[in-house]
């Protein structure tokens, strides 16, 4: 009987102690933070178009729970990454030979092509020369050249010429702008930002190989691609050494909503 009473009293004391501890614990304090944030996904390639793994991107935005720590992400083995909670207009920092900054203007998808790395500290600067005695007489290479200055190639030029849009009176960017409609789905979801579409200019001036370099989704990326494809006027291709060559170009469209 005495043992049961002692156990009962100990139980009551323990319960009261825990209750006092709980009652004495201060309630957590919260503060409300309003931020315009987005989630960014993308892929990173090096100068040889190989996926880059282990590249870390750091946002200007800070952790909400651990104040003072910036949010970041790292590319996986396929060169892909996802950054959750980045600022809508953010500057992403990464290290590729040197500290580099990438300004993102609301794009939710990024295809990043890194420049070649030059490691001066590890590169052998001296040229190693191997010498051997020639056994065969070296004959000069012969070329046929045009001596009549009146003869030009079928484009009418002989030197280099940059790419340009053929109907210069209208202009390519103005044409694209006239063909794009802000998707209703994007408007309803308050989607803004840059869409950059890359493409090739073929030797005949046609456009091909369309791809999203920066995107915001919600139909905006497809709207830009369709507008570019709707162009029926050929470009004047890049002329290299008097001959048309395949080249690359891109168009950036900024989608922006206003309160007016």
Tokens in use for 15? Answer: 């319960």
Cite the DSSP H helix spans in the chain. 2-24, 172-179, 184-188, 220-229
pLDDT of residue 169: 33
Span 15-74, pLDDT tens digits: 655 555 555 567 777 666 677 788 999 999 998 889 999 999 999 988 766 666 888 999
Q: Are residues 18 and 86 in contact, defined by beta-carbon separation less than 8 angstroms?
A: no
Q: In terms of DSSP bridges, do strands 89-95 and 99-105 run parallel, antiparallel, or are they unpaired?
A: antiparallel
Assess whether pLDDT exceeds 90 at residue 238. no
Cite the DSSP H helix spans in 123-234. 172-179, 184-188, 220-229
Higher pLDDT, residue 84 or 134: 84
Q: In terms of DSSP bridges, do strands 37-45 and 109-113 run parallel, antiparallel, or are they unpaired?
A: parallel
Higher pLDDT, residue 175 or 51: 51
Model pTM score: 0.66
Q: Are residues 77 and 185 in contact, defined by beta-carbon separation less than 8 angstroms?
A: no
pLDDT of residue 31: 67
Percentage of the chain modeled with pLDDT above 90 = 29
Quick one: DSSP state of residue 22? H
Find residue 38's DSSP bridge partners.
86
Higher pLDDT, residue 191 or 21: 191
A 10 A CB-CB count for 91 gives 13
* Residues with Cβ within 8 Å of residue 193, at least 6 apart in sequence: 38, 88, 105, 106, 107, 108, 214, 216, 254, 255
Span 94-131, pLDDT tens digits: 999 889 999 999 999 999 999 887 654 444 455 555 55
Q: Are residues 41 and 82 in contact, defined by beta-carbon separation less than 8 angstroms?
A: yes
pLDDT of residue 36: 76
Give the residue from 55, 101, 99, 60 showing the smallest Cα distance to 80: 55
> How many angstroms separate the CA atoms of 63 and 75, rounded?
19
> How many angstroms separate the CA atoms of 77 and 132, rounded?
46
Find residue 92's DSSP bridge partners.
102
pLDDT band for position 156 (cuts 50, 70, 90): very low
Q: What is the mean pLDDT of the chain?
A: 77
């Amino acid at each position: 009987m005495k043992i049961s009473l002692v156990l009962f009293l100990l139980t009551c004391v323990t319960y009261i102690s825990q209750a006092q501890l709980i009652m004495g614990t201060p309630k957590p304090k919260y503060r409300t933070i309003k931020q315009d944030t987005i989630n960014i996904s993308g892929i990173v390639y090096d100068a040889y178009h190989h996926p880059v793994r282990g590249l870390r991107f750091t946002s200007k935005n800070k952790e909400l729970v651990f104040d003072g720590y910036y949010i970041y992400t790292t590319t996986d083995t396929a060169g892909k990454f996802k950054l959750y909670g980045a600022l809508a207009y953010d500057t992403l920092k990464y290290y590729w030979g040197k500290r580099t900054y990438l300004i993102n203007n609301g794009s939710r998808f990024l295809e990043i092509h890194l420049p070649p790395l030059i490691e001066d500290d590890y590169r052998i600067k001296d040229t190693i020369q191997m010498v051997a005695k020639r056994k065969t007489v070296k004959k000069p290479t012969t070329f046929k050249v045009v001596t009549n200055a009146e003869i030009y190639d079928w484009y009418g030029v002989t030197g280099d010429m940059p790419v340009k849009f053929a109907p210069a009176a209208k202009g390519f960017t103005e044409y694209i702008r006239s063909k794009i409609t802000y998707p209703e789905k994007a408007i309803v979801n308050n989607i803004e930002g840059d869409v950059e579409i890359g493409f090739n200019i073929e030797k005949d001036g046609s456009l091909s190989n369309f791809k999203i370099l920066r995107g915001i989704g919600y139909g905006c990326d497809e709207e830009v691609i369709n507008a570019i494809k709707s162009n029926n006027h050929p470009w004047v291709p890049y002329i290299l050494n008097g001959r048309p060559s395949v080249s690359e170009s891109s168009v950036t469209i900024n989608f922006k909503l206003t309160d007016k």
